[in-house]
Structure 1
């Protein structure tokens, strides 16, 4: 039985609806594909995440030593005054990390320091308003930092003695947060990457790259924090903690995940599970 002209027209419209402006077929976006989870892939993913966790716990003494040596080397290379000592092994236990003692000598209290910092905050806020539309994401980030540091400036103008945090506690907590993020990374990848039909080498490569990024970034990040705090005082700690603390490696982890999701995979392209 021949199709009616109306049915032919609808079929033609359906064919055209999946064509791009260059004539190619628009494939269904992977974000709305239906995925089934074979038991074998789920078990392999759990075993892989567990293996990475075991590897991290086994290598913890070497990571502690590497982070300690890197931080102490930078403190001495930058000729920062203060006390810089290896951590006490009794601090460790369970999943905790032994961290070095970083106590730089801070500059003398200056009543005009909050005023100078406040002027810089206002200048940055005003200048970011002149950014082009293409640079708006950078302007939003600058204004976020300006808001955080502006709150810090107000606090140090009126209640400086109430600030109980120290550079030592900031560095110690930052190193431990990075360590916990490393421990969580394989299980985050389990839920967001391993369950997709990527090749085994791709799953291993993404997690290894992410862990290497965190291991290399962390001691350098907190060496910079210690140096900046030694130059400017405790007024910078809220900004360093909230904007340039654990949020910085998290952004890097997300960026690496996006990079890994873009790797070519025939199973994903064919939607075979």
Structure 2
């Protein structure tokens, strides 16, 4: 019985010769012989011209809409802060600061007469700092990232403890003005939220409705969250002194707001892309 002759290719046709011998190009075959799938970071993103509506038109419309609704938002903030002012017996009161955004007028914010730390307040802060730095050594396992985060908070507070121990009288901020400045910055964060999502989410094929929902959700959450956030910060400064302002400024103000936006973005990335079967938000 005669064996079937092996098909040959010209000597100068190397790709064909490899294919005939059962080989694939090395760039698509792994060391175990399995096929290497192109990484998503190397794929080209389909970007039709109509998507510029999502990237530019959607954030522009939301920004204009928020500017138009700002008087209503300002009254909402005044009512929220006013409610807590009554509950706290006037220790925190409603004040106003000029907006950084032209045409916005005044921004309401919670004002408290926080002062420099007393010896007792500094000692309490030092105890908390030591607990954060050394008490977290007993946290392990799956909670180890929490321990690292608490230690980082402790490092920030340790720097504040050192500063107020050495140069307390040279601290340049006061309780009322500092919260007012943070509120000004937070209004800007709300306004750039749809533009931030436009750059990292609207360029993808998730459909206009989902992109709109994500941006509105982020802006609405911050709008409600900000007056509560800074009212609590004012109470902390009032009860604990300006010793805690570096902590609030670095970790619990704008940083926390951006962390919330990142959380919303991570959730939105779990939604099925347009064209796939999804039970969440049609497009």
TM-based fold match above 0.5: yes
- Deviation (angstroms), 1:138: 1.1
Shifted more, 115-124 versus 99-108: the winner is 99-108
Distance in 2 (alpha carbons) for counterparts of 1:141 and 1:242? 13
- TM-score normalised according to structure 2 size: 0.80
Shifted more, 98-107 versus 174-183: the winner is 98-107
- Structure 1 residues 252, 163: closer, same or farther in 2, change over 3 A? same
1:144 aligned residue: 152
User: Aligned to 1:204, what secondary structure does the other structure show?
Assistant: helix
Distance in 2 (alpha carbons) for counterparts of 1:98 and 1:240? 23
User: Deviation string for 1:149-202 (max 9, x for gaps)?
Assistant: 111111111211111212212221222222111111111111111111111111
Distance in 1 (alpha carbons) for counterparts of 2:200 and 2:54? 14
Match of 2:244 among 236, 239, 261: 236
2:51–2:203 Cα contact (<8 Å) kept = yes
Distance in 2 (alpha carbons) for counterparts of 1:28 and 1:262? 21
Stretches of 4+ aligned residues off by more than 6 angstroms: 2-6, 13-16
1:210–1:256 Cα contact (<8 Å) kept = yes
- Structure 1 residues 7, 66: closer, same or farther in 2, change over 3 A? farther
1:38 aligned residue: 48
User: Aligned to 1:47, what secondary structure does the other structure show?
Assistant: helix
Distance in 1 (alpha carbons) for counterparts of 2:134 and 2:261? 31
Match of 2:34 among 7, 11, 17: 17
Distance in 2 (alpha carbons) for counterparts of 1:7 and 1:68? 78
User: Aligned to 2:138, what secondary structure does the other structure show?
Assistant: coil
Distance in 2 (alpha carbons) for counterparts of 1:5 and 1:36? 31
1:68–1:99 Cα contact (<8 Å) kept = no
- TM-score normalised according to structure 1 size: 0.83
Asked if residue 163 in structure 1 is aligned to residue 152 in structure 2, the reply is: no
Asked if residue 87 in structure 1 is aligned to residue 96 in structure 2, the reply is: yes
Asked if residue 49 in structure 1 is aligned to residue 66 in structure 2, the reply is: no
- Structure 1 residues 243, 10: closer, same or farther in 2, change over 3 A? same
1:220 aligned residue: 228
Q: Summarize the alignment of residues 1-273 of structure 1 with structure 2, pairs less than 5 Å apart.
A: 1=7, 7-8=21-22, 17=34, 30-81=40-91, 84-87=93-96, 91-92=98-99, 94=102, 96=104, 98-100=106-108, 102-106=110-114, 110-267=118-275
1:197–1:268 Cα contact (<8 Å) kept = no
- Structure with higher helix content: 1
Structural RMSD (CA): 2.9
Compare CA radii of gyration and give the structure with the larger one.
Answer: 2
User: Aligned to 1:99, what secondary structure does the other structure show?
Assistant: strand
Distance in 2 (alpha carbons) for counterparts of 1:259 and 1:141? 22
- Deviation (angstroms), 1:115: 2.5
